[in-house]
C-alpha cells in the first residue's frame, strides 16, 4: 500500500514539475503558448539530449535510455536515417537498428519523451545526410528543392516511417511530442514552396505539431522558417534566442525557446592534423557548457544536448563535410565528446551536467546513476593473411566501358570500386582520376602501388606513372563518405566521375570496373582451399583473419565491451562475428574501434575477426588487442613524404 501511495505521489509530482514527465499510459495533449511548452495544459521544460537509435546496438537501447534519465533528461531527440531504412529503392527494413518504434516504446518505459527528427535530410555527419545513394540515379533528381522526383521519393519514405510509428505519438498514448520539419534548411536554401510541401507530408503522416531548427542568424532564420510552424534555433543559446526574438516577427512562428542542438563539443574527422574533440576534463570548456545549460533552465527555456550519446557510425555509414577544399571524412566513432561516451559509460562531464540539472528540478526526481561493469581487456591475438581482396572479385567485370562509370552506375552505394585498364600505347605523366579525386584513390601499375591520390588533403599528392604497352593500370577507389553538409551535397556520385587522363592530355579508354561493396564478406576468407597471399610492401589490399575469446568473468553483454586496437595496421576496415565495426586509419584521431559485448560470444566460444588492410606491410605481424581504455592519437600519414 505504501508503495502504491508513493507511486501516486510521484506521478502527481511529475505532472506538476517541469522536469520529469511520467511515461504516458494514456493519450495526452502536447502543445505550446507564447512562452511554454504545455503537456495537458501544464508547463513543461524539455530537458533533452540527442541519441540516434541507429547508431546504437538494439541490445543496449534500454541501458542508454536509463543513463539519459539518470543524467536528468526527460526527452530524447532522435534523427532517423532514411538510407538505412530504404537501402535499395522500394525495399524497406524496419528490423534491428531500424526498429524505431521499439526504441520509442523503450524510451516511454523509462519515463522519457521523444522528439522526432525524421529528415529526410538530417545532416548528422551521416553518409549524404541520410539520403540513400540511389537517389542520384533518378532522372531529374535535385535534393532539398521543390523537385518532383525528390518529393515523390521522400513522400514514400515518410509514409512508410509514418506507418511504422503510427502508435508512438503522444496523442495515441506514445512518447513522441513533436516532429522537426527539414533540418537547418536556412543553411542551405530559402524555398518556401518546398518547405510547405514537406510540412504537408509530415502533417499527413505524423501527429502533433511541427517545428523548424536553424542557426542563430538572420539568413538562417529567413531561409529555414515557415509560416505556421514553430521556429527554434541551435548552437549558442544566447545568440540563438536573441536572434529568434529579433528576426522572427511572424506570430505564428513564435512560442517557447528551445536550443535544438546545444553542442558540448564537435565532430572528429580523419587527419594527422585533426585531434580528438572533447570537453570532459577541460575546465574552460566545461564551465561554458554548465553556465549555458544553467542559463537556459533558469530562463524557463528548453534544450537538447548534441550529442548526449553519439554512438557509432557502423561500417561505411559515416558522412563527410566539405571544408577548406578538402573532404573532412568523419570517423567511425561518433563519440562526439558526449557526456555519455561511445560505450555508454558516463564521463566527468555527464556527472557535472547532472549536478547542474538537479538545481532546476525537484529534489530526488533524478534517479541514481546505474552501476556499470568496466570495459574488458583482450590479450594480443594474431591475424593471419587469408586472401587478397582483388582475388575475391568476380571473374568478369561488373561493367566494361570506354570510360569509367561511377559507383552508383554499378548499383553500388558504399565500399570500393576497382577500375582496371590495359595500356594500349605507352604514355607517362601525372594521372588524373576523372574530374578530380572525390575520396581516396590507390594507384597500382602491374600490381605495385605507384601512389595515393587523397582528397582528405586540400592538395592531393601528384602520382606520376610511366606506362608501357601491355601494362595493367588499376585505380582502387574508396568511398570515404558522401558529403552531408555543404552545397556540395547536391551532387554526390562516387568512384571516378569523368575521364582518366595521363600527362594532362592523354585520355585512357577501355576500362573494366569491379564492384566491391563488401556488404557481405567473401566466402574465400573462410575457404580452407584458399591459398594465403604473400605479403609484400606496396601490394594490393589483403584480408586478415583471427579469433579471440572473452576473458573469464565477462560475457556477451556490457561486461564484454572493449575497444579493438590494431597497432600495426595502416588503413582498413574490420568485422567481428560478421558485424561491420567500421574503419581504422593510423592518421587518427581514432585509434581503436568499439566492440559491444552484445556482438560477441561468451564463454570459451571464439570470436571471429576479419580485417581488410588496404596497405599491408611485409615483415610486419598483424595483431589485435582489446583495450579497456580507448586510444585517441594522431600519427603521420605514411603516404605523405
Residue pLDDT, tens place only, 245-264: 999 999 999 999 999 999 99
Class of 403-509 in CATH: mainly beta
Sequence-ordered strand ranges (E) for 506-578: 506-507, 511-516, 542-548, 562-565, 571-576
Residue 261 catalytic? yes
| Closest C-alpha among 183, 172, 223 to residue 485 | 183
One DSSP character per residue, 71-117 reads HT--EEEEE--HHHH-SBTTB---SGGG-HHHHHHHHHHTT-EEEEE
Confidence (pLDDT) at 12:
33
pLDDT at 4 over 50: no
Domain chopping of the chain, boundaries: 30-359, 378-387+521-627, 403-509
Question: Among residues 110, 127, 182, 184, which one is catalytic?
Answer: 184
Residue 125 catalytic? no
Asked if 74 and 48 count as a contact pair (C-beta separation under 8 A), the reply is yes
pLDDT at 504 over 80: yes
pLDDT at 54 over 90: yes
What mean pLDDT comes out for the span 478-494?
Answer: 86
Give the Cα separation of 641 and 638 in Å (integer): 7
Asked if 312 and 582 count as a contact pair (C-beta separation under 8 A), the reply is yes
pLDDT tens digits for 189-230? 999 999 999 999 999 999 999 999 999 999 999 999 999 999
Fold classification of 378-387+521-627 (topology level) = Jelly Rolls (2.60.120)
Q: Would you tell me the crossing angle of helices 283-298 and 237-247 to the nearest 10 degrees?
A: 40
Fold classification of 30-359 (topology level) = TIM Barrel (3.20.20)
pLDDT at 453 over 50: yes
210 — phi, psi (to 5°)?
A: -105, 160
Give the Cα separation of 83 and 89 in Å (integer): 10
pLDDT tens digits for 265-324? 999 999 999 999 999 999 999 999 999 999 999 999 999 999 999 999 999 999 999 998
Asked if 321 and 330 count as a contact pair (C-beta separation under 8 A), the reply is yes
Residues 6+ apart with CB under 8 A from 240: 215, 216, 233, 234, 259
Question: Among residues 125, 261, 478, 613, which one is catalytic?
Answer: 261
403-509 shares the fold of 30-359: no
Sequence-ordered strand ranges (E) for 457-532: 464-467, 472-478, 483-485, 500-502, 506-507, 511-516
Amino acid at each position: 500500500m505504501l508503495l502504491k501511495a508513493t507511486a501516486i505521489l510521484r506521478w502527481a509530482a511529475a505532472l506538476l514539475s517541469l522536469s520529469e514527465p511520467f511515461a504516458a499510459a494514456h493519450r495526452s495533449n502536447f502543445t505550446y503558448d507564447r512562452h511554454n511548452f504545455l503537456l495537458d495544459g501544464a508547463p513543461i521544460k524539455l530537458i533533452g539530449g540527442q541519441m540516434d537509435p541507429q547508431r546504437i546496438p538494439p541490445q543496449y537501447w534500454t541501458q542508454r535510455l536509463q543513463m539519459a534519465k539518470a543524467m536528468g533528461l526527460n526527452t530524447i531527440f532522435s534523427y532517423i536515417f532514411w538510407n538505412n531504412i530504404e537501402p535499395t529503392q522500394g525495399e524497406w527494413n524496419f528490423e534491428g537498428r531500424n526498429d524505431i518504434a521499439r526504441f520509442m516504446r523503450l524510451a516511454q518505459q523509462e519515463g522519457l519523451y521523444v522528439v522526432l527528427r525524421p529528415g529526410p535530410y538530417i545532416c548528422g555527419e551521416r553518409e549524404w545526410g541520410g539520403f540513400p545513394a540511389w537517389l542520384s540515379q533518378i532522372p531529374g533528381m535535385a535534393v532539398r528543392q521543390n523537385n518532383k522526383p525528390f518529393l515523390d521519393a521522400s513522400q514514400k519514405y515518410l509514409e512508410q516511417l509514418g506507418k511504422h510509428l503510427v502508435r508512438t505519438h503522444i496523442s495515441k498514448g506514445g512518447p513522441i511530442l513533436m516532429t522537426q520539419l527539414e533540418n537547418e534548411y536556412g543553411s542551405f536554401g530559402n524555398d518556401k514552396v518546398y518547405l510547405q510541401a514537406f510540412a504537408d507530408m509530415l502533417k499527413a503522416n505524423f501527429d502533433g505539431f511541427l517545428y523548424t531548427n536553424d542557426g542563430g542568424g538572420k539568413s538562417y532564420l529567413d531561409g529555414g522558417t515557415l509560416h505556421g510552424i514553430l521556429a527554434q534555433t541551435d548552437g549558442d543559446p544566447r545568440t540563438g534566442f536573441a536572434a529568434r526574438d529579433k528576426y522572427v516577427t511572424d506570430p505564428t512562428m513564435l512560442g517557447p525557446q528551445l536550443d535544438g542542438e546545444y553542442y558540448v563539443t564537435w565532430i572528429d574527422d580523419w587527419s594527422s592534423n585533426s585531434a580528438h574533440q572533447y570537453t570532459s576534463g577541460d575546465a574552460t570548456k566545461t564551465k561554458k557548457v554548465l553556465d549555458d545549460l544553467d542559463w537556459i533552465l533558469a530562463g524557463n527555456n528548453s534544450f537538447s544536448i548534441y550529442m548526449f550519446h553519439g554512438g557509432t557510425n557502423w561500417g561505411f555509414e559515416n558522412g563527410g563535410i566539405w571544408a577548406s577544399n578538402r573532404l573532412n571524412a568523419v570517423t567511425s566513432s561518433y563519440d562526439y565528446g558526449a557526456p555519455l561516451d561511445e560505450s555508454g559509460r558516463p564521463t566527468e562531464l555527464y556527472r557535472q551536467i547532472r549536478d547542474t540539472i538537479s538545481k532546476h528540478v525537484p529534489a530526488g526526481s533524478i534517479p541514481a546513476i546505474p552501476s556499470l561493469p568496466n570495459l574488458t581487456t583482450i590479450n594480443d591475438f594474431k591475424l593471419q593473411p587469408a586472401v587478397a581482396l582483388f582475388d575475391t572479385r568476380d571473374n568478369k567485370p561488373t561493367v566494361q566501358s570506354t570510360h569509367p562509370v561511377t559507383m552508383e552506375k554499378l548499383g553500388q552505394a558504399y565500399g570500393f570500386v576497382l577500375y582496371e585498364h590495359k595500356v594500349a600505347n605507352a604514355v607517362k605523366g601525372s594521372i588524373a582520376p576523372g574530374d578530380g579525386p572525390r575520396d581516396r584513390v590507390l594507384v597500382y601499375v602491374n600490381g605495385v602501388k605507384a601512389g595515393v591520390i587523397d582528397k582528405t588533403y586540400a592538395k592531393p599528392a601528384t602520382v606520376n606513372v610511366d606506362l608501357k604497352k601491355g601494362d595493367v593500370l588499376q585505380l582502387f577507389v574508396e568511398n570515404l563518405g558522401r558529403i552531408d553538409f555543404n552545397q556540395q551535397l547536391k551532387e554526390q556520385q562516387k568512384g571516378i566521375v569523368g575521364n582518366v587522363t595521363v600527362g594532362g592530355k592523354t585520355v585512357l579508354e577501355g576500362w573494366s570496373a569491379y564492384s566491391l561493396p563488401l556488404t557481405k564478406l567473401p566466402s574465400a576468407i573462410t575457404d580452407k582451399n584458399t591459398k594465403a597471399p604473400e605479403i609484400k610492401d606496396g601490394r594490393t589490399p589483403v584480408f586478415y583473419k583471427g579469433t579471440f575469446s572473452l576473458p573469464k568473468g565477462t560475457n556477451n553483454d556490457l561486461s564484454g565491451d572493449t575497444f579493438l586496437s590494431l597497432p600495426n595496421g595502416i588503413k582498413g576496415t574490420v568485422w567481428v562475428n560478421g558485424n561491420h565495426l567500421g574503419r581504422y586509419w593510423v592518421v587518427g584521431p581514432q585509434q581503436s574501434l568499439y566492440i559491444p559485448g552484445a556482438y560477441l560470444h561468451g564463454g570459451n566460444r571464439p570470436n571471429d575477426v576479419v580485417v581488410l588492410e588496404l596497405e599491408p606491410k611485409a615483415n610486419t605481424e598483424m595483431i589485435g588487442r582489446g583495450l579497456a581504455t580507448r586510444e585517441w592519437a594522431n600519427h603521420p600519414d605514411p603516404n605523405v613524404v
